Structure 1
Amino acid sequence: MSNADFRPRRSVLYMPSSNERALEKAKTIAADGIIFDLEDAVAPDAKPEARVAAAAAVQSGEYGRRELIIRVNGIGTEWHDEDIAVAAKAGPDVVLVPKVNSAEEVLALVASLEAAGAPEKTKLWAMVETPIGMLNALSIATASPRLTGFVMGTNDLVKELYAEHVPGRQPVITGLGLALLAARAAGIVIIDGVYNDVKNAEGFAAEVEQGRQMGFDGKTLIHPGQVEPANSGFAPSEQAIEDAKGLIEAFEASTGGVVTYNNRMVENLHVESAKRTLAIAEAIEALQA
């Protein structure tokens, strides 16, 4: 993905599609993306109604410039096929599928979306949240041009590993790293998993910082109160923007030989990183305009 194509995905908020008030509130929340959830957040008897509500929300045109995502129920569930058919016709930006474990599943999902008439703009994102999904991450990420993103399912991964949720997430660091490596190798988006303790602002801020430092594009969220700290945490700071501009200027003004900025040597790779920082800042500014 080129810098020119950059789209902010700092905050991607799950909203239960069975909750009419939640869908209405999502129109006013400053999240970069909204996931209209048909899976975990929706009781079995409410799923058909939620499916209709999610499609209507996507087609309403009332969510501004937010990226609109429908999370369907997983492959093999009784709701999956109808979810895919309705989501494809609704034409969201993204259809998100949980527990994707192989390239073969990706190809089958793409075929289902296309058979149901999904427009070209509707992309597929895969939730990677199982041990086999992590180990197959690269083949999943490169299976189809229609697949353009990963979303981490850290709660399920913790469960599958018989691990525990701990500060710093050491039990799932290997899985996060494998998925990140695959996403960056394939040139796709990757969004970090949720943080469960919605009242622990300090813990959430620490996990946002960790995710940004690791290289995630943003974080999936389960509460509107997490949006602002995610937005600020995944945005370049004023100092970072200033440093990026200064570094690029120093490099472009050089006439050969060793280039330094703030007493550090500058190479092409630093310039590319600086340009990406500015592209992110500009995209965020445009989104907020």
Structure 2
Amino acid sequence: MEGRPRRSALYMPGSNTRALEKAKAIPADALIFDLEDAVAPDAKIQAREQVCAAVKEGGYGGREVVIRVNALETPWGAQDIIAACEAAPDAILVPKVIHSGDIISAAKLLQSVHAPEKVRLWAMMETPMAILNARTIAATAVYKDNRLSCLVMGTNDLIKESRARALHDRFAVVPWLAMTLVAARAYKLDIIDGVYNDFRDEVGLRDECERGRILGMDGKTLIHPSQVGPCNEIFSPTQEEVDWSRQVIDAFGQPENEKKGVIVVDGHMVERLHFAMAQRTVAIAEQIRQMEKACG
């Protein structure tokens, strides 16, 4: 796994130049500049130009910059990807992914324009067919040329297309989240939960973040800057988790334990898999510390 903090991924409308500038001061781990749902058809081209100019200009610090393009089958999709490749964000978010071919097609387009190596692909999982095909979509990550690094849940669209009820306990949504999460982990991908629509309801947001973290999500997509703080707090490793992880790393680092598969740490049986988990926890915590320091 890449081991990069993706606790909060904030959607920003690509047609709003003020929002693109304001994003430079928002402490989200990832900024998703949206050319799709947040932009009216007659503003698509202008939004593309604004977003690509903003990405080229930079100034977003250590935040991960992502451009959500329009679907390839739309009149704007292919040109969105070509322009995004030239701007060189950290990732391009492909919407309406329904099968592995959608990722492969996007990846081939990146290859055809010689996109910088750092540009990754993220996949929006927002249709019933995407959930049914989650394994084969995630499996495209096996091939490096496909550049897939993250799955993003589009829960609003899933609720609409399934005719489920959007209740606060997300009774209908959890199975879709769990299916996609297992597929992501099987192919060493990150996965980010869907949005919480009532941005004035911090209690509800916190509850949904907590449930998402328990399930195994790496973070959550957000629709308002006010949601960033609570989301970052909940998806960050706790000090207790970091301290324990350092203990595990130190223990496996002892000469007598270097070749052991299982050791005892503070009365607990610990395996090599816990060592790998501990390394990731400490790495994420250190990156968060550096990002917070950079943001002042």
TM-score (norm 2): 0.90
Matches within 5 A, 1:11-50: 11-50=8-47
Superposed, which structure 2 residues align to 1:209-220 within 5 Å? 209-220=210-221
Structure-2 residue corresponding to 1:121 = 118
Q: Tell me, in whole angstroms, the C-alpha distance in 2 between the residues paired with 1:208 and 1:215.
A: 11
Q: Which residue matches 1:226?
A: 227
2:162 partner letter? L
Question: SS of the residue aligned with 2:287?
Answer: helix
Residue 34 of structure 1 aligns with an amino acid whose one-letter code is: L
Residue 108 of structure 1 is matched in structure 2 by 105
State the shift of 1:251 in Å: 5.4
Distance (Å, rounded) in 2 between the aligned partners of 1:12 and 1:234: 12
2:278 is aligned to 274
* AA aligned opposite 1:132: M
Unaligned runs of 5+ in 1: none
Match of residue 182 from structure 2:
181
CA-to-aligned-CA distance 1:120-173 (integer Å, 9 cap, x gap) = 211111101111111111111122421111111011111111101112212011
Tell me, in whole angstroms, the C-alpha distance in 2 between the residues paired with 1:65 and 1:156: 30
Whether the 8 Å CA contact 1:9–1:217 is kept in 2: the answer is yes
Aligned partners of 2:47 and 2:3: how far apart in 1?
A: 31
Show structure 2 runs of 5+ residues with no match: none
Residue 193 in structure 1 maps to residue 187 in structure 2? no
C-alpha contact (below 8 Å) 1:94/1:122 kept by paired residues? yes
Checking the alignment, whether the CA contact within 8 Å between 1:6 and 1:283 is kept in structure 2 is: no
How far 1:52 sits from its partner (Å)? Answer: 0.2
* 1:13-92 equivalent positions in 2, closer than 5 A: 13-92=10-89
Q: What is the CA RMSD across the aligned residues, in angstroms?
A: 1.9
> d(CA) in 2 for partners of 1:112 and 1:194?
29
Task: Give 1:280's aligned amino acid.
Answer: I
1:202 match: 203
Instruction: Give the secondary structure class of the aligned counterpart of 1:78.
Output: coil
Instruction: In structure 1, give the amino acid aligned to 2:279.
Output: K
The SS at the match of 1:127 is strand
Counting only pairs closer than 5 Å after superposition, residues 135-146 of structure 1 correspond to structure 2 as 135-143=132-140, 144-145=143-144, 146=147
Q: Deviations over 1:216-269 (max 9, x none)?
A: 111111000011111111111112212222344455569689854454333333
Contact 1:149/1:188, CA 8 A, preserved across alignment: yes
Q: Are 1:89 and 1:117, in contact at CA under 8 Å, matched by a contact in 2?
A: no
Alignment of 1:256-271 (within 5 A): 259-261=263-265, 263-271=267-275
Q: Residues of 1 paired with 2:124 and 2:18: CA distance?
A: 26
- Residues 247, 116 of structure 1: CA spacing in aligned structure 2 closer, same or farther, 3 A cutoff? closer
Fraction of identical pairs, as percent? 50
Q: Report deviation, 1:22.
A: 0.6
**TM-score when normalising by structure 1:** 0.93
SS in structure 2 at match of 1:180: helix
Question: Is 2:144 aligned against 1:147?
Answer: no
Aligned mate of 1:95, from 88, 92, 95:
92
Separation (CA, whole Å) in 2 of partners of 1:63 and 1:87: 16
**Residues 1:287 and 2:254 are matched in the alignment:** no
Query: SS at 1:142's partner residue?
Result: helix
**Length, aligned pairs only:** 286
